[in-house]
Chain A
């Protein structure tokens, strides 16, 4: 129930059914999304009977996990009316660093240095957005460019050392336990922290508050630059962890490893009902959004269509889902 409903309790019977349904969906954005996901799985089963198996299920989960984690970066920054265009580059940097440091200093140092680099980029982003008040789009675009350049320079120094992916990352990325991907060992606690953290911690609520009305939040005594620093450092860390998981999954570090995930991660957050103007969104929605995009990818691959048509359909479906969502909930 929103604040205005509490202030002006109007008879529920005067509200048209469609509007009421829309309000219900606006309060529970995950429900229509899960419905859409089930529809997509149904279509998949009709197109290729027998494809839905425990193996398919675990494979879908496996590929949705890195996307869902990067979608967390986008969702968290979107809550404060921002966006993180450097997330995919940060993931790539962390993946490349861990693979190149491991043969020299061992896996532990590799992970620490990789995540340190990721947090550093995040802190720079936080400084730009929170202190220097640069538009998040520009700031993260710039740091993304800088990080890409640094990575290319760094690559020339380590070109001779070879690369090695720590065994536990491969286990996490490719292994299976009881038919489910091991990535879940990382993802389930991660998702729980984000979901509960946003709901029950002061920091989580501050993100919503800043996104809803930054000026009011400042007047309430919040130092917003500290929140931005913490937020972007956290987002950098998440992107770094995603990179570690992803390199374990792909097992071939490259200079553009996670970059193709950038736009889908933003799309997953948006499909999941996060408003890019801030103040509204949930991680549950983003997770379902990532699953929808992954299933959609499978579906479009199965259709015997030229690649161009698949890409077109992918874009149209993102647009359609968001447009429908905005129409249903009558919000932006």
Chain B
């Protein structure tokens, strides 16, 4: 299988993204670096939520609590930064996110309750935890953290995009090349076969949920970098991340897909929103368009798979 065939879906998404960027430029000739920069910044929490969701979907699960974990991490970091420097606060937040994700995974493995039910219950638990930490929006964020995602670097690349790429790559590339990454794909493809091949299924799942929590923590941090304040109420990241993961070519049920496709999908969904806003379309119609695109793309994907299996 050639490179193009193997990554057909991702390449198609990338082409779609370029086309959409072109359309944006056509509609709004002044759309340039600043537009791109604000697009990348707005997409940041969505991208991390999607990366988090993608990892657990690849292992064959689903995590309904991503938005709540992000809220907990956001308020934790905002509160910690009141009393300490940014670096230890960020480190602690990342660890807490990892811990929350692993808790989800451990509960799924130990109770043997389906993923979707456990994370549904944990959605409430983490949401409540966020409210316990901070009852109303508050906390502080160090200025340089806010500055770190604003503006551009290297002539035209938005800083937010670079930070996102580095953060995701630092976690995902070593992971995917490691034994654990292989195990994650194996468990997602066929749990029983993986178990019989000697893969520690339980630990793999816990680790995958841990990585999910880690990405959620990054998402929470990016949230407070964007707004400068810790908000204890979960944002609209759950549905958006599921949509982007599916659009990005990760198959619900596990074992297929990567992180690049879903993250491109995030930008596609965001840029469609931008285009519709620039075209002065009623913002409410945007929701309809997003839902339709999501359903249509999945149907198209299923159609492609069907044709391939017949051919």
Interface set of A (CB-CB < 8 Å, partner B):
83, 128, 132-135, 137-139, 141-146, 148-150, 152-153, 156, 263, 266-267, 270, 276-277, 306-316, 318-319, 322-323, 326-327, 332
Given A138-B295, A142-B294, A146-B288, A276 and B125 contact (CB-CB distance below 8 Å):
no
A310-B126 Cα distance, complex, nearest whole Å: 11
Q: B121, B126, B243, B288: which has the most chain A beta carbons within 10 Å?
A: B121
Contact assessment for B291 and A144 in the assembled complex, using a CB-CB cutoff below 8 Å: yes
A315 touches B125 (CB 8 A): yes
Whether A142 lies near B291 (C-beta < 8 A) is: yes
CA distance A319 to B103 in the complex (A): 13
Residues of B within 8 A of A (CB): 62, 107, 111-114, 116-118, 120-133, 135, 232, 239, 242-243, 246, 252-253, 282, 284-292, 294-295, 298-299, 302-303, 306
A267 to B121, CA, bound (A): 8
Q: Indicate if the CB atoms of B124 and A318 lie closer than 8 Å.
A: yes
Task: Find chain A residues with CB under 8 A from B302 CB.
Answer: 132-134
> Per DSSP, are chain A's interface residues mostly helix, strand or loop, or mixed?
helix
In-complex Cβ contact of A319 among B62, B111, B127, B295 (8 A): B111
Instruction: Report the minimal beta-carbon distance from B157 to chain A, rounded to whole angstroms.
Output: 32
Q: Quick one: which of A83, A142, A156, A316 contacts B284, CB cutoff 8 A? A: A156
Chain A residue contacts of B289, Cβ below 8 A: 149
Q: Could you tell me the distance in whole angstroms from the C-beta of B256 to the nearest C-beta in chain A? A: 13
Alpha-carbon distance between A273 and B247 when the two chains are bound, in angstroms? 32
Extra A-B contacts (16), CB below 8 Å, given A146-B295, A148-B291: A128-B295, A135-B253, A138-B243, A139-B295, A146-B288, A149-B284, A149-B291, A153-B285, A314-B128, A315-B124, A315-B125, A316-B125, A322-B111, A322-B118, A326-B113, A327-B112
A143 to B293, CA, bound (A): 11
Q: Which of B62, B117, B298 contacts A322 (CB 8 A)?
A: B117
Q: With A and B bound together, what is the CA distance between A326 and B117 in angstroms?
A: 12
| Cα distance A310–B243 in the bound complex, in angstroms | 30
Contacts of B126 in A (CB 8 A): 315
The CA-CA distance from A266 to B107 in the complex, in Å, is 19
Q: Find out whether the CB atom of B132 lies under 8 angstroms from the CB atom of A309.
A: yes
- Residues A314 and B124 in contact, CB atoms below 8 Å apart: yes
Residues B287 and A149 in contact, CB atoms below 8 Å apart: yes
- Is A310's CB under 8 angstroms from B291's CB? no
Cβ contact within 8 Å between A323 and B113: yes
A83 to B131 Cα, complex, angstroms: 29
Query: Is A315 in contact with B242, judged by CB distance below 8 angstroms?
Result: no
Closest residue of chain B to A314 (Cβ to Cβ) is B124
How far is it, in angstroms, between the C-alpha of A150 and the C-alpha of B292 when the chains are bound? Answer: 11
Please determine whether B117 and A270 come into contact, CB atoms closer than 8 angstroms. yes
Query: Which residues of B lie under 8 Å from residue A312 when comparing CB positions?
Result: 124-125, 128-129, 132
